[in-house]
Amino acid sequence: MTVDPTTALAVGLKVDSEVLPDGLLQTADLTDPATTLELLKLDAIVGIKAMVDTNGTASKFGVTCALCHSTVDDSVALGIGKRLDGWPARDLDPGLIISLSPYFDDKPQLRTELQSWGKGKYDPFWNQNGINDPVLIPPAYGLKDVSLATYTGEGDISFWNAYVAITQMGGQGNFKSDELGLDIKADPDLVTAKLEALKSISTAFKLRFLKQEALMLHLQIAGNYYLMARHPVQLVTVVRILPMIKDIALSKQDVILDMHSVVVILALIERRH
């Protein structure tokens, strides 16, 4: 392990302060890779799982959905705080992280493409079709009753979870899509049996409006979902009504809505115009 915490935080990784022993951050050297190993042993790096042996070596290393779909509230320091599960990791720079692999040392063009993505963006098809087309990392909350859970509408939550688990995260499982031209088989299939539980977690997340900036961002995403579902409405109309919804939401102390509810609000307001 040669990555120190300062570098990890710089590329958008997050530290869950609630699992840290008292006083650790005050005494730890954040420029020392050994501190990264200690954080991994404590399961404190959001979305990262590792097995650290007695020699201080990470013998196994992997990622979870939380890498892209959770963040922290920065209550301790930038990138360090209480977890916010389901929130998009808009500070994460996946392309930059992937590009640092030695695999790309003799592939400068591919490395340049990855580094062009920028923070908060990821291209889940890049390793399949070779087309450089990153999209904004979406929230993982507010998906209850949303039948098409992706920007491009391939399928529901379980379809997307299976695709990402198997083609992006290296999971061992079965995945088939005629549209994508994929038919992946694995024995044993370690993914499919877990999809229903993962779907239940995803639909349990609620959209909580904590501050104005986050509210407007999530409503714009809701507008995108609405445009895909109800194409006749124009984007300019959605943009025009967003401030109206913002005023309604901010007039209450604790507004909790799921994405389906936001889409319904958009539909009702559009009917009035």
188 preceded by a cis bond (ω within 30 of 0)? yes
148 part of a folded domain: no
Cα 25 to the center of its chain, rounded Å:
26
Q: What are phi and psi of 107, to 5 degrees?
A: -130, 65
**8 and 129 part of one domain:** yes
Q: Mean pLDDT for the chain?
A: 80
pLDDT at 211 over 50: no
**193 and 213 part of one domain:** no
**115 and 4 part of one domain:** yes
Confidence class of residue 203 from pLDDT cuts 50, 70 and 90? confident
Residue 114 CB burial class (10 angstroms; 0-12, 13-18, ≥19): buried
Q: Which two tokens mark 81? A: 């705080």
The label of the residue with tokens 């599960």 reads: 85
**196 and 226 part of one domain:** no
CA angle 240, 242, 248 (to 5 degrees): 125
> Which residues have a Cβ under 8 Å from the Cβ of 16 and sit 6 or more positions away?
43, 44, 45, 46, 72, 81, 82, 83
Check residue 53 and give its pLDDT. 83
Structural domain including 224 reads: 207-272
Number of independent structural domains in the chain: 3
pTM, two decimal places: 0.73
**116 and 11 part of one domain:** yes
Inter-residue contact 13 to 41 (CB < 8 Å): no
121 part of a folded domain: yes
DSSP-assigned letter for residue 77: B
pLDDT in tens, 224-257: 555 444 444 444 444 455 555 555 444 443 344 4
pLDDT in tens, 25-71: 889 999 999 999 999 999 999 999 988 888 878 888 899 999 999 99
Q: Sign of the C-alpha dihedral, residues 100, 78, 61, 188?
A: negative
**192 and 215 part of one domain:** no
251 part of a folded domain: yes
The label of the residue with tokens 């939550």 reads: 157
